[in-house]
Copies of this chain bind each other. A is one copy, B any other.
Amino acid sequence: MPEDRIEAGIEADVDALSAAAASRPRTPRERARAQTVADIVRLGREHLALHGAAALSLRAVARDLGVVSSAVYRYVENREELLTLLLIDAYNELGDEVDAAVGAVPEADFDGRFAALGRAVREWALREPSRYALLFGSPVPGYRAPAERTTGPGTRVIIALIGILDGAFRAGRLAATGRRSPAVAAGLAGDLAKIRAEFGLAVPDDLLARGTLAWTSLFGAVSFEVFGQYGPDTFTAREELFAHHLAVLADVAGLPAAGAAV
């Protein structure tokens, strides 16, 4: 990705982040603090793009911010906290883009919403490869995300996807396809029942397992493209390949093509 595109992306994002941060703090002091945290996150993104998550250093971010590291720790406690802020920031940006793309398609067009979700994930990942890698790539050695803060932002895409599939099922528009009806073993059925209860879903076991596969497969295809697994020239028509994949994955999930009978 050309550096000016990275720069432009970062600038646009930081504006949004600063605006969001500035809308809450009440006093000038709180505003200044929110602005400094936003600056640290912005620099953190740049370091992420240059060095990767594993080599992220709060001390180096402080240097770029022009302050001594003891000063930066007043705003962001440690490297783990910076990673957490970057995770939440990236998950929410991805979640916002997915929600906007899905929301632009009529609610009853389940197939259209599924495709819009998939394309939004891919487009964000191609535009933000290092942030995508932070979310969906190799775990960062020594770092464990605090579930109570990251699970909400981190489950936005799967919740949007499962919402589409559950809506389609309730509308009588979701049915397993293909030549196989793999059995759902007892342990898996237990996991799926818990998920169904937690999210108030109606979609039955086999279709919920298929939805899970459509979810991991979507990210599998995006990761292979973004992480360079296709090699430099094996697939040149990547958008066409992805469109084919999305159509097959909609079928895996049990969604008929728009207009088709179930």
Contact = CB atoms under 8 A, between A and B. Distances in A.
Interface in A173-190: 177-180, 182-188, 190
Chain A's interface: helix, strand, loop or mixed, by majority? helix
A141 B134 CA distance: 12
B182 A243 contact: yes
A217 B55 CA distance: 29
Given A213-B221, A234-B191, A227 B137 contact: yes
| Identical copies in the complex | 2
A260 B249 CA distance: 23
A248 B54 contact: no
Nearest to A175: B179
Contacts of A140: 52
Contacts of A217: 213, 216-217, 220-221
Contacts of A59: none
A106 to B, nearest CB: 20
Contact of A241 (B55, B134, B191): B191
Interface of A: 50-55, 133-134, 136-141, 147, 151, 177-180, 182-188, 190-191, 194-195, 209-210, 212-213, 216-221, 223-224, 227-229, 231-232, 234-237, 240-241, 243-245, 247-252, 256-257, 260
